[in-house]
Amino acid sequence: MATLTDDATTSISPAWRAWVYEHLAHGLEPAAIVERLIAAGAPAPIARSEVAGLASAARLSLASQLRRELAGTSLKEVRGALPATFWADHWEQNRPLVLRGHADAWPARDWTLDGLSDRFPDAAVEVEIERDPSRHFEGRWVERPLSTFIAEVQAGPSNDHYCIARNKNLERALSPLLLDIVVDPDHFEARHLAGGSSLWIGPAGTLTPLHYDTTNILFVQLVGQKRFWLVSPDWSGLLFRLEGFYVRDDLVAVPPEAIHEVVLSPGDALFLPVGWFHRVAALSPSVSFSLLCFRRPNDFSWCHPSRLMRSPLP
């Protein structure tokens, strides 16, 4: 466990605060938690004050605790297209879904790194470089010829150059790639594909630490493999560990029983519901495509719990 206190005279650390919150929500008696904090070095008045304050908030998470225990840690998997029950069973229930072979019939399944380089050799693409672990692997943006970038991708494992979602590549140089995407009209708006999709290209070793998004996403793997670690938003203790959209210390403080893990291979897709925390690592050179242009409203930007932690009361 991390250091017990931020300031030994005022409070316990965010890591311990998350620990207290989760154990209160799980039914551990407050007195027992106070004893544990004191045994770990917290002054008794601080231990009692922190637990009393968090106990009030923990009462609100009892329903979340029930949902996450009932859900278990297995992810539902189907083959092929989104099922007829998708809206009711996954969108409305905020429940992930793995779709094996979902994109096997897409022309995009014929993509290869060499093929993309040959097809768009001089296309200028936006790439994130100098990805800094202290800033959750966010770096600075540069433009490079696609052929140059793909040569870097193929040079070996790295997390220092990555074409991630926050770029305009599909709206500019690589827009012809959208013709290779097959959009299911029962679930997606094809006319919004250009602004409602994202392209990811990177070497083995790229990593995005645990974070959440404010939209629902269908994430499709087209080249290579990626591993996902998913944590339900019902693990509300993580709200005490947020830095922006990221969870401080990644998976360090997440209980193993909270983690859903899945590997996507070429053609596989993952419905990633809004608010779900997820960590993503490329196991090999990778090309991925994500769809956001669902046929239902998909902007949940109000769902930004870190604002509650930094906004002072009047």
**pTM score, whole prediction:** 0.82
**pLDDT at residue 285 is higher than 60:** yes
Residue-by-residue DSSP string for 107-120: GGGG--HHHHHHHS
Domain map (residue ranges) of the chain: 5-66, 74-310
pLDDT average, residue stretch 274-283: 97
Q: What is the pLDDT of residue 86?
A: 98
The pLDDT of residue 256 is: 86
**For the residues 268-286, what does the mean pLDDT come to?**
97
CATH of range 74-310; options 3.40.50.10190, 2.60.120.260, 2.60.120.650, 3.40.50.620 = 2.60.120.650
**Region 66-78 average pLDDT:** 79
C-alpha 184 chain-centroid distance: 24
Q: What is the mean pLDDT of the chain?
A: 88
CA atoms of 108 and 223, how far apart (whole Å): 9
Stretch 132-140: mean pLDDT: 88
Nearest-angstrom CA–CA distance, 44 and 124: 60
Residue 163 per-residue DSSP state: B
- Residue 2 confidence class, pLDDT cut points 50, 70, 90: very low
Residue entry with tokens 């959440």? 212
- pLDDT band at residue 216 under the 50/70/90 scheme: very high
Dump pLDDT digits (tens) for 158-172.
Answer: 999 999 887 788 888
Mean pLDDT of 177-198: 95
Confidence grade of residue 314 (pLDDT, cut at 50, 70, 90): very low
pLDDT (average), residues 11-39: 82
For residues 173 and 123, the answer to whether their CB atoms sit within 8 Å is: yes
> C-alpha angle 264/197/227, rounded to 5°?
20
Q: What is the pLDDT of residues 47-57, one digit of tens each?
A: 998 888 887 76
